[in-house]
Each structure stands twice: as structure tokens, then as C-alpha cells.
Amino acid sequence: MKDCFKIEKIVADIYLVTEPYFRGHANLFLLTGLPFDLLVDAGLGLCDLKKFLTSRGFRPKVVITHGHFDHIGGLSHFTDEDVLVSPLTAANIVEKRLWGLNFLKPEYFDSQHTREVIGKSPPEVCADFAIRLPKMTPSEISEISIGERLLRIISLPGHTDDSIVLHDEKNRMLVTGDMLYDGGIYADFPNSDKTAFKRSLNHLRTLDFEYVLPGHNEILSRAQAMRVIDRWHSWLC
């Protein structure tokens, strides 16, 4: 029986959790700390992510980078006290038309792996996909402290209106969600804004960081991130 999640240690206090049966999977980063561990994004939610993490000794709270299905689905398995969410994201999450479901396609799943871990075929998974949201109390979070790390939340709209990045200035690290990753740019959702996206990319350039933990694909050095910013900027023009 294959596992629903894969977890790998990136550095001493950062883990990457993925759902490898979905080829378009998001990167879920778990930053360990005190008094809780911070999970950035929640994945598809087809298996119980909270149980997976707590059974390994983690104490996760979840912060959501934006309200797309591949980042919010796993909220189903968390409770209100576990979730840190802005008022805008909380409002978007309850609007199914903003989940980006046109990118939930059977061909993005590994058929055999999906059957093994979910017990359904990819078309069945897509047809049955639902997100059961916990009752959520949104808050105007501007920073999150987990002991050694202080993460400042920066609103950078474009991909969606509620997109945020988390900046750990001391450790010169950025967690970007879909605001930046090495891959194709998506700026055609009902709540996308290309002009805002360009502004947000320019803002990213001004931040002090050494590396990026992105919402999809590989971790980026600053130089690699700058190349993606240039490429995306030119695609938006």
C-alpha cells in the first residue's frame, strides 16, 4: 500500500509534504517551531493530513497562501483553532467558483497510485471532489511567530486577489505559494489581476531573501527566483 503523502526534510526545521499521486501537486511546507508547527497550505484533502502529521509528532496549524483547491482541500481535516486565514481568503474559500477547479483533471493523477491510496479512479476523484471547510474565524494576521522564526505576511495579489507570501527576514527565506514558482504563469482566474501581478512581482524583487519555498516545483535560489520573475513579468506584458 503506497502512502497518500510523502514527507522529506529540507533543513533541520523545514519539511516538504506532497501528494505524489497528483502530478500537479502543491508543495506544502511544514516549519517546525513553538508553540506549534506551521504548515503552509493544506493540499487536496483526499486523505487526512492532520492525522498524518500528528501521528508523526507534529502539532500543525495551517496558514493558507490563497484559495485554490490544491492548497485548501486539506482544511477539511483541521478545526477552526488550527487555521490561520485572512478575511479575504476566508471569503474566497467559501466560493467554489474561485477554487480553480478547471485544473482538477483526471489526467493530472497517477491512475494506479490514486486507486491505491484513495480507492477511486481519477475521474471518480474529480467528480466527487468536495472541500468540507471547518468553521473559520478569519483574522488580520500580519506576522506569525513560531519561536526561532518570525514570518511576516505580505499580500501580493495577481495570481488571485488573496495571494500572500511569508517572509522570514532573519533567515532570508520566502514562502511564495503560487505567487512565484518555476513553471507556467496562471493569471486568468476570475479573481486574477495582471496589473496587480506585475506590481507584486516588482515588490518581490525588493525583498531580501536567499531562497524561495514555492507553491509548486523546485525550491529556488535568489538568482533562479529572479529569472522566473523576469520571465513572468515579460509574459504579463
Interface with Zn ion (CB under 5 A):
26, 68, 70, 178, 215
The CB-of-46 to Zn ion minimum distance in angstroms stands at: 15
Other C-beta atoms closer than 10 Å to the C-beta of 102 total: 9
Amino acid sitting at position 142: S
The CB-of-100 to Zn ion minimum distance in angstroms stands at: 6
**C-beta closer to Zn ion: residue 103 or 145:** 103
**C-beta closer to Zn ion: residue 70 or 82:** 70
Q: Which three cell numbers stand for residue 88?
A: 479575504
> Residue 201 burial (CB < 10 Å; 0-12/13-18/19+)?
buried
The CB-of-215 to Zn ion minimum distance in angstroms stands at: 5
Among 129, 34, 32, CA closest to 72: 129
The CB-of-41 to Zn ion minimum distance in angstroms stands at: 8
Whether 179 and 188 have beta carbons less than 8 Å apart is answered as no
**C-beta closer to Zn ion: residue 76 or 92:** 92
**C-beta closer to Zn ion: residue 36 or 41:** 41
**C-beta closer to Zn ion: residue 26 or 146:** 26
The CB-of-68 to Zn ion minimum distance in angstroms stands at: 4
CA distances from 132 to 4, 108, 136 (A): 19, 22, 11
Q: Which three cell numbers stand for residue 45?
A: 484533502
**C-beta closer to Zn ion: residue 32 or 92:** 92
Instruction: DSSP for 108-134, please give it.
Output: GB-HHHHHHHHSS-HHHHHHH----PP
The CB-of-107 to Zn ion minimum distance in angstroms stands at: 17
Among 176, 158, 166, 165, CA closest to 215: 176
